[in-house]
Amino acid sequence: MTFNETVRKTIRARNSLVCVGLDTVPSRIPESIRSGPDPVFEFNKRIIDATQDLVAAYKPNLAFYEALGTEGWDILRRTVSAIPDGILKIGDAKRGDIGSTAEQYAKALWNIGFDAVTLNPYLGRDAVDPFIRNTEKGAIILCLTSNAGSQDFQKRFLDGMPLYLHVARAIAEWNGNDNCGLVAGATHGEELWAIREITPDLPFLIPGIGAQGGDLESAVLSGTDKAGEMALINSSRGILYASSGAGFAEAARNAAEILRNEINVVRKTKG
């Protein structure tokens, strides 16, 4: 099964577009766990156990694990292993390097156990190629990011069209193995429609709701495909840190459930 088929199957089977960003910061882990021997993994495991029936994907961002020092990669590897089968494991790595180096990144990231990774398009096709050879594995490529800096280059016009739409076109071209997706931030409601028009069937990974201020309804309407599928709506801080007390896992579960239900209400008006 190709990665993009797996995305559709997973979303249907779980009836959820929720992606939980496992961007764990030690200082924000509740005291009861923070004082234990393996706090980041233990926290992640509790979050996964509490939310796993509500989500389509988990997405650790590698920066948060690299910031833990030499133990970080082992904590990341164990975290990914703790995600149950049938849920997408996305490595938010935003890597981009020349072909022979990209091969090394692909080796590193697939060895951790990810189903897909995020990539940066600035280096072009050969930086993506090593990640899309295996049709079962996915490359989710930055198109239009959720931050203020997306104005600096992504929204600049090039031959009458903003750069991010050129990137969307390229990603559609690179999708010969049916395993490319794209990142499009929820902070750009109108622009999401334009990207969806160019890539009607590709999976979108949509960050930027919650702490970053993106509008959920608009993101679901514009980011999903015609069937109200093929989008993963990411929430990190809103779920992980829903409560800083001992009941954090239940609070995370509640937040994930509310998010899933809010999304599904909007999807019904569409699909």
**Which residues have CB under 8 Å from 258's CB, separation 6+?**
none
Q: Which is nearer to its own copies, 132 or 266 (CB)?
A: 132
- 138-144 vs 116-119, strand pairing mode: parallel
Q: Which is nearer to its own copies, 3 or 64 (CB)?
A: 64
Is 240 an interacting residue with respect to its own copies (CB under 8 A)?
Answer: no
d(CA 150, CA 146): 7
Kindly indicate which of the ranges 32-40, 73-81, 192-200, 219-227 contains the residues binding its own copies, using the contact rule CB under 8 A: 73-81
Catalytic position from the list 45, 94, 155, 270 = 94
Is 107 an interacting residue with respect to its own copies (CB under 8 A)?
Answer: yes
How large is the C-alpha radius of gyration of the chain? 18
d(CA 7, CA 2): 9
Is 120 an interacting residue with respect to its own copies (CB under 8 A)?
Answer: yes
In this structure, are residues 200 and 226 in contact, taking their beta carbons and an 8 Å threshold?
yes
Q: What angle do CA 118, 34, 38 make, to 5 degrees?
A: 65
Q: Judged by CB under 8 A, which of 41, 58, 64, 248 binds its own copies? A: 64
Within 4-33, which residues bind its own copies (CB under 8 A)? 23, 25
Is 241 an interacting residue with respect to its own copies (CB under 8 A)?
Answer: no
In this structure, are residues 211 and 186 in contact, taking their beta carbons and an 8 Å threshold?
no
Q: Kindly compute the dihedral angle of the four CA atoms of residues 251, 263, 231, 114, in this order, to the nearest 10 degrees.
A: 20
Is 90 an interacting residue with respect to its own copies (CB under 8 A)?
Answer: no
Helices (H) and strands (E) in the chain, counts: 12, 10
Q: How many beta carbons lie within 10 A of that of residue 226, not counting itself?
A: 11
Is 38 an interacting residue with respect to its own copies (CB under 8 A)?
Answer: no
Q: Judged by CB under 8 A, which of 1, 13, 63, 246 binds its own copies? A: 63
Q: Judged by CB under 8 A, which of 11, 163, 242, 251 binds its own copies? A: 163
Is 94 considered catalytic here? yes
Active site (catalytic) residues:
94
Binding site for its own copies (CB under 8 A): 23, 25, 61, 63-64, 66-70, 72-74, 77, 94-99, 101-102, 104-105, 107-109, 111, 120-128, 142, 145-154, 156-159, 163, 166-167, 170, 212
